Amino acid sequence: MANVLNTDTVYAWPLDTGDSEKPFRAVTVLRIHPALSPLAAVRAFIVQEFKANANPAKA
């Protein structure tokens, strides 16, 4: 596989969507910079979601 990142850890958690038909979404973040800890992975996800929602054309 081309462009495979070298990591041995993936952070994952369920995210409540507020939608009764699909109540949860699986979030996964590879352990690479800047997500080198569980807390940093959550922060990186929040930043990505904020940016995607601020500019829907780039999502």
Q: Is residue 19 part of a domain?
A: yes
- The DSSP 8-state label assigned to residue 52 in this structure reads H
Q: What is the pLDDT of residues 1-57, one digit of tens each?
A: 456 678 889 999 999 999 999 999 999 999 999 999 999 999 999 999 999 989 766
Q: CA–CA separation, 36 vs 38, rounded Å?
A: 7
For the chain, the domain total comes to 1
Q: Is residue 33 part of a domain?
A: yes
Q: Is residue 20 part of a domain?
A: yes
Write out the residue range of the structural domain in which residue 52 sits: 10-58
Q: Is residue 4 part of a domain?
A: no
Q: What is the pTM of this model?
A: 0.75
CA angle 43, 47, 49 (to 5 degrees): 115
